Structure 1
Amino acid sequence: MSVWIGVDLGTQSVRVMAVTGDGQVVGTASRALTSHRDGPRHEQDPEQWWRELSVAAREALRYVPASEVAGVAVDATSGTILLTDPSGRALTPALMYDDRRADAGRANEVGAAVWERLGYRRMQPNWALPKLLWLLRDAAEGARLAHQSDFVNRRLVGHDVATDLSNALKTGVDLIEERWPLEVMDALGVPSQILPEVVRPGTRLGVVCAEAAQETGIPAGTPVIAGTTDGCAAQLGAGADRVGSWNSVLGTTLVLKGVTKELIHDPLGVVYSHRAPDGSWLPGGASSTGAGVLTRDLPGRDLDALSAQAGARPGPPASVTYPLVSRGERFPFDAPGAEGFTLGSPADDVERYAAILLGAAFVERLCFDYLDLLGAPVDGEIILTGGATRSAYWTQLRADVLGRPVTLRENAEPALGMAVLASGDSSGMIRTRGVVDPSGADLTEAYLRFVTELERRGWLDAAAAEHARERTDR
């Protein structure tokens, strides 16, 4: 029986999972990672990634026969980079995905035509290319770019490795031509020799070398497969891999990722697309709304108890809250000045709780309305993952707001997605926990009132608001 290893390099931990072809988890372990934060600065020690991965891998594989291990793939946080020497030794700390010390102005000025063609239009200061330019100011001779997963993959195979298109997106790779836009890089002063080769996720990079096998417990000769970003890994773990299917991840904030045949172009730049292993596209966006508001606005309350009490009350919530975790919205519209608000007057904490949940569900629906406006197919399976799925009340509310069945998975974490990618076949590895159908509750009027309020405040574009209204009549 073959066993596939998925490695998830997150911000707070590294997680290793060993999974059989029929989806049985036969080993799992995680180890904490530490960060260094100071204002816009956010760094990690790359050596810690390797040390903790090695410990976690040994623990996860403790009872897995070496003869059964068939492949390993690694995901990483999007936009995290460092510089290494030619031997793969770190020359700089890792600048994490949300390090904002760089300035994107020069990258956007020089690469505007390419970024426009790729659909996302502009880079943010925390994207990898602006950070690379920032690092190159004091770079040692012979320095090379490494994404977080590249650093680990090189240790695994013992020689230079290609980077995957998914992790290279925010470094400016041309996802259409599947190469670096060398004319842009040259104009920015990025030497071509510091850039790794690029391949699609799912490409074989090499095999685990003897030294890595001794440190990690992953058998020597195990194929190492090019991975993805953690967001794409979670999408693979959820089984959202068919055109028109979507993975909606609702935890502290809300993230949607789907599958399209064609590249989606967004005039607002709030939706951008990764490239799938088969060449299709993985568009998505991240909202600033989500469950993070619950712990902020209802501190110390038993959320499970509030969920049960809200579910016991008749009818839908009478109020709705726009649940912004922090100032500013990123998706389904771009509004740096957006702030949370409540329509109605919740009488107690149960009503306040329900209003927050309803607002998050309305934002989720508006995201699908906006994706439909852009021409993305949204008629496939909707798979819900993230912490919010622990609340049966919230899950039912989301199905009611969307007016469609929603699917829940048994396990949809990024490490599983990497095991799926390493195997090359998701058919038996993705297990469904259940499907929740709409109850028939009519929330259209409340949703349209919410959309109108967002438009009135100048945050939601008139065309997007009108499209949301039109979709309620379909």
Structure 2
Amino acid sequence: MMFEGDGGAWLGIDLGTQSVRALLVTGDGRVLGSGAAPLTGRRDGVRHEQEPGEWWEAVCVASGAALTGQPRLRLGGLAVCGTSGTVMLTDGEGRPLTPGVMYDDGRAVAEAARVGMQPSWALPKALWLLEAYGRGRVTHQPDVITARLTGGSGTVVPTDSSHALKTGYDAEGEAWPSRLAYLGDVLPEVVRPGTRLGEVCRAASEATGIPVGTPVIAGMTDGCAAQIASGALYEGSWNSVLGTTLVLKGASARPVRDSAGVVYNHRAPDGSWLPGGASSVGAGALPAGGDPVDMDRRAAQYEPSGALAYPLTSPGERFPFLAPDATAFTLGTPVSEADRWAAVLQGVAFTERLCLDYLHQLGAPIDGPLTFTGGAARSAYWNQLRVDILGRSARVPEQIEPALGMAVLAVHGTTGTPLAEAAEHMVRIRTVVAPDPARTERFTEPYARLVAELESRGWLPAPVAAHARNRLNLETDAS
């Protein structure tokens, strides 16, 4: 592995919803440069699209900014992540034929029902596109960028198994399943994340500022990228990503089996597994207006809140239970705006605890280190509240960007260094937050009430509710 002293660095590129981010990082985690470029999209009801050409233009701007002022830099490699479930159709030479249909586009309801998937997954949207446009090759968001980087607009590259997962790819068998055989060569070739796809060509170098010949490594979804950036890669480790919504991703030697289908398993580059799930609760449910720092300070007076909230950001829940008809609710009336704020903060943390209880019921290893990332990890108060409600410590890294995870993956793909080892060198932990046992006890009763309410509404299966209560009783008895 190259470290800071030899002038080497790696580039991570993150294709987000609102912007493209690029991060230039040394082998010991020092950030040498960063860049960003905004993205626009078209939203109309359940429709959400972006133009693939705009992704490339934004990559050029963001990469150029990250590399500015590094004339003698030796770039070891790069990797690209994108939003999970974003797809389009391209022609036989990799040129886009359709807009990019984004991860949260909701038009493929009928197709989702036909294949037994959530409408947000890529396969239903790919089928919708094929029916609407009649021809084309299914292509995932980062593939457009890696094709341009390695050979220009007339190039086709394999996709990675992480982005292909929600298109129906069998990560365990490492093949497209036989039930999709009727699609034929519409589906792309698939490789493991960390596979070398090619090198940056001259035309792409001139457009982006990335040196000619830089290795281009197959990436992973943005959720997996954030997990890599957290360092949660040893068995039993978990990363809780709290932004607009809540995503938990962990590391396991074996897939975590879930008949309900709310936990899915990405394949790690070394063949191990990264199980996880995505909830619809999150910071997106916080009331608009007001200074978050001030609201956090005022919310601290309400522990627990006088109201009990299940703060969904949109209708339907995906994890820790599947309930398409679930809606946000608040039991009781907050006495103030600060109390309302507190109810949302606590409701998200209760859901986070229920997610971990569900993972425990499934037999997932959950006793390793827990890491907090996502935009909400910037709130010191919310971090403390979450560990108090969970009753366990959490690490908060200095960098919480998925682009860092792609820089780490680039190290693995170019040097062969085990991914977890590369992350140990490059992920810097800012602080460790420890729970206060007295405060943990304070939140046990409202947590139990929320579990009971979710069960009574028919959303949370009775065995899951019983398991959560059993774990709560065991911890209460132990204290």
Q: TM-score, normalised by structure 1?
A: 0.91
1:367 maps to amino acid: C
Correspondence for 1:210: 202
Matches within 5 A, 1:389-408: 389-408=377-396
Deviations 1:403-433 (A, max 9, x none): 1111111112111110011012212110001
Q: Which stretches in structure 2 are left out of the alignment for 5+ residues?
A: 1-6, 413-421
Correspondence for 2:43: 37
Q: Secondary structure at the match of 2:425?
A: coil
Q: Does 2:192 match 1:186?
A: no
Asked if the contact 1:248/1:385 (under 8 Å) is kept, the reply is yes
Correspondence for 2:102: 96
Deviation at 1:283? 1.4
2:213 maps to amino acid: G
Matches within 5 A, 1:145-294: 145-158=138-151, 159-181=155-177, 183-187=178-182, 190-192=183-185, 194-294=186-286
Deviation at 1:345? 4.0
Counterpart CA distance in 2 for 1:411 and 1:29 is 14
Over aligned residue pairs, what C-alpha RMSD do you find?
Answer: 1.9
Q: 2:411 aligns with which of 423, 432, 453?
A: 423
* Runs of 4+ with >4 A deviation: 103-109, 138-141
Counterpart CA distance in 2 for 1:105 and 1:83 is 16
Deviations 1:222-263 (A, max 9, x none): 000000111111111111111111111112211111111111
**CA, structure 1 residues 104+177, in 2 after alignment: closer, same or farther (shift >3 Å)?**
farther
**CA, structure 1 residues 314+46, in 2 after alignment: closer, same or farther (shift >3 Å)?**
closer
Counterpart CA distance in 2 for 1:460 and 1:60 is 46
Deviation at 1:138? 5.8
Q: 1:357 aligns with which of 333, 345, 350?
A: 345
Deviation at 1:384? 0.8
Counterpart CA distance in 1 for 2:97 and 2:88 is 8
Correspondence for 1:119: none
Deviation at 1:41? 2.2
Give the total of aligned pairs.
453
Task: Name the stretch that deviates more: 96-105 or 273-282.
Answer: 96-105
Task: Name the stretch that deviates more: 237-246 or 62-71.
Answer: 62-71
Counterpart CA distance in 2 for 1:170 and 1:315 is 40
Task: Name the stretch that deviates more: 130-139 or 54-63.
Answer: 130-139
Task: Name the stretch that deviates more: 33-42 or 195-204.
Answer: 33-42
Counterpart CA distance in 2 for 1:454 and 1:294 is 20
Deviation at 1:63? 1.5
Counterpart CA distance in 2 for 1:50 and 1:205 is 18
Q: Does 2:17 match 1:28?
A: no
**CA, structure 1 residues 401+140, in 2 after alignment: closer, same or farther (shift >3 Å)?**
closer
Counterpart CA distance in 2 for 1:387 and 1:138 is 37
Task: Name the stretch that deviates more: 412-421 or 261-270.
Answer: 261-270
Matches within 5 A, 1:311-390: 311=300, 313=301, 316-390=304-378
Identity %: 57
Deviations 1:74-124 (A, max 9, x none): 001111122222222212222221222224548855xxxxxxxxxxxx312
Deviations 1:16-43 (A, max 9, x none): 1101111111111111111112223222
Task: Name the stretch that deviates more: 47-56 or 367-376.
Answer: 47-56
**CA, structure 1 residues 138+461, in 2 after alignment: closer, same or farther (shift >3 Å)?**
closer
**CA, structure 1 residues 430+137, in 2 after alignment: closer, same or farther (shift >3 Å)?**
same
Q: 1:10 aligns with which of 6, 10, 16?
A: 16
Deviation at 1:70? 0.8
Asked if the contact 1:66/1:219 (under 8 Å) is kept, the reply is no
1:310 maps to amino acid: A
2:105 maps to amino acid: D
Deviation at 1:140? 6.8
Counterpart CA distance in 1 for 2:276 and 2:112 is 25
Correspondence for 1:55: 61
Deviations 1:312-363 (A, max 9, x none): x385444432212222222111222323333444322222221221111111
2:51 maps to amino acid: D
Q: 1:123 aligns with which of 109, 117, 128?
A: 117
Asked if the contact 1:61/1:218 (under 8 Å) is kept, the reply is yes
Asked if the contact 2:112/2:119 (under 8 Å) is kept, the reply is no
Q: Secondary structure at the match of 2:409?
A: helix
Counterpart CA distance in 1 for 2:371 and 2:331 is 29
Task: Name the stretch that deviates more: 93-102 or 206-215.
Answer: 93-102
Counterpart CA distance in 2 for 1:456 and 1:390 is 35
Asked if the contact 2:196/2:216 (under 8 Å) is kept, the reply is yes
Task: Name the stretch that deviates more: 125-134 or 286-295.
Answer: 125-134
1:10 maps to amino acid: G
2:201 maps to amino acid: C
